A and B are shown apart, each in its own frame.
Chain A
Amino acid sequence: MADSDGRQVDGVNHATDKDVKLQEIALAKNEGKELTKEEKQRLRKEKKQHKKNKKDDKGPPEKEKEKEKASVPAPSKPATQSPAHKAAPAPVHASESAAAAEKPAKSKAELRAERRARQDSERTSKQGKKEGGQQSASSKPKATPNELQPVVKRLPEHVQVDDPAALKKLAKKLERQQKSGQGCGLNKTGVEVPLRSDYGYKVSLFSHLHQYSRKSPPTLQISIPATVIHPSIVRLGLQYSQGIIAGSNARSVALLHTFKQVIQDYSTPPNEELSRDLVNKLSPYISFLSQCRPLSASMGNAIKYIKKEISNIPSQCKEEEAKGKLQACIDSYINEKIILASEAISKYAIEKISDGDVILVYGCSSLVNHILCKAFEKQRKFRVIVVDSRPRLEGREALRRLVKKGIRCTYVLISALSYILPEVSKVFLGAHALLANGYVMSRVGTSQIALVAKAYNVPVLVCCETYKFCERVQTDSFVSNELDDPDDLIVTRNGKSHLENWQTVKSLGLLNLVYDVTPPDFVDLVITDLGMIPCTSVPVVLRVKNVDQ
Chain B
Amino acid sequence: MIKDKTFEFKNGGDPDVASAVAAIRSLLEFLRRDQSETILGLRENMTQAIRRLEETDSSVAVSSGGELFLRFISLTSLEHPDLSQCKNVMIERGELFLKKISLSRGKVGKLCHTFIKDGAKILTHSSSRVVLKVLENAAADNKRFTVYVTESQPDSAGKRMAQKLRKLNIPVMVVLDAAVGYIMEKVDLVIVGAEGVVESGGVINKIGTYQMAVCSKAHNKPFYVVAESFKFVRLYPLNQQDVPDRFKYTADILKTVKDLNQEHPMIDYTPPSLITLLFTDLGVLTPSAVSDELIKLYL
Stretch at the interface among A280-288, A338-346, A406-414, A531-539: A531-539
Give residues 499-549 of A contacting B (CB, 8 Å).
Answer: 521, 524-525, 530-534, 536-537, 540-541, 544
A459 CB contact (under 8 Å) in B201, B239, B299: B239
A534 CB contact (under 8 Å) in B239, B241, B242, B288: B288
B116 to A: closest C-beta gap in Å: 28
B218 at the interface (CB under 8 A from A): no
- Whether A533 contacts B238 by the Cβ 8 Å rule is no
Interchain residue pairs with CB less than 8 A apart (18): A352-B242, A426-B238, A459-B239, A521-B273, A524-B238, A525-B200, A530-B295, A530-B299, A532-B199, A532-B236, A533-B291, A534-B200, A534-B201, A534-B272, A537-B288, A537-B291, A537-B295, A540-B295
User: B199: nearest residue on chain A (CB-CB)?
Assistant: A532
In whole angstroms, what is the CA distance A525 to B272 when docked? 12
B5 to A: closest C-beta gap in Å: 36
B107 to A: closest C-beta gap in Å: 23
Please name 12 further chain A to chain B contacts, defined as beta carbons within 8 Å, in addition to the given A459-B238, A525-B200, A534-B291, sorted by A numbering. Answer: A521-B273, A525-B236, A525-B238, A531-B299, A533-B199, A533-B291, A534-B272, A537-B291, A537-B295, A540-B291, A544-B295, A544-B299
B118 at the interface (CB under 8 A from A): no
Note all chain B residues with C-beta closer than 8 A to A530: 295, 299
- Whether B236 contacts A536 by the Cβ 8 Å rule is no
In the complex, per-residue mask of A333-373: 1 if CB is within 8 Å of any chain B CB, else 0: 00000000000000000001010000000000000000000
In the complex, per-residue mask of B218-239: 1 if CB is within 8 Å of any chain A CB, else 0: 0000000000000000001011
Note all chain A residues with C-beta closer than 8 A to B242: 352
B277 to A: closest C-beta gap in Å: 15
B61 to A: closest C-beta gap in Å: 21
B292 at the interface (CB under 8 A from A): yes
Note all chain A residues with C-beta closer than 8 A to B272: 534
User: A520: nearest residue on chain B (CB-CB)?
Assistant: B288
In whole angstroms, what is the CA distance A6 to B200 when docked? 77
Q: How large is the interface on B (under 10, 10 to 19, 20 to 34, 35 or more residues)?
A: 10 to 19
A322 to B: closest C-beta gap in Å: 34
Note all chain B residues with C-beta closer than 8 A to A531: 299
Note all chain A residues with C-beta closer than 8 A to B292: 537, 540
Interface size on A, residues (CB 8 A): 18
A71 to B: closest C-beta gap in Å: 52
In whole angstroms, what is the CA distance A535 to B199 when docked? 11
In the complex, per-residue mask of B256-299: 1 if CB is within 8 Å of any chain A CB, else 0: 00000000000000001100000000000000100110010001
- Whether B199 contacts A536 by the Cβ 8 Å rule is no
In whole angstroms, what is the CA distance A521 to B299 when docked? 25
In whole angstroms, what is the CA distance A544 to B294 when docked? 13
B151 to A: closest C-beta gap in Å: 29
In whole angstroms, what is the CA distance A461 to B200 when docked? 13
In the complex, per-residue mask of A402-443: 1 if CB is within 8 Å of any chain B CB, else 0: 000000000000000000000000100000000000000000
Q: Which of A426, A534, A540 has the most CB of B within 10 A?
A: A534
Note all chain A residues with C-beta closer than 8 A to B238: 352, 426, 459, 461, 524-525
A536 CB contact (under 8 Å) in B239, B288, B299: B288
In whole angstroms, what is the CA distance A540 to B295 when docked? 8
- Given A532-B199, A533-B199, A534-B272: A541 touches B295 (CB 8 Å cut-off): yes
Rank and list the top 10 A-B pairs by shortest CB-CB distance, nearest first.
A536-B288, A459-B238, A537-B291, A532-B236, A540-B292, A534-B291, A534-B200, A540-B295, A533-B291, A537-B292
- Whether B288 contacts A533 by the Cβ 8 Å rule is no
Note all chain A residues with C-beta closer than 8 A to B236: 525, 532
In whole angstroms, what is the CA distance A532 to B233 when docked? 12
Q: Which of A352, A524, A537, A541 has the most CB of B within 10 A?
A: A537
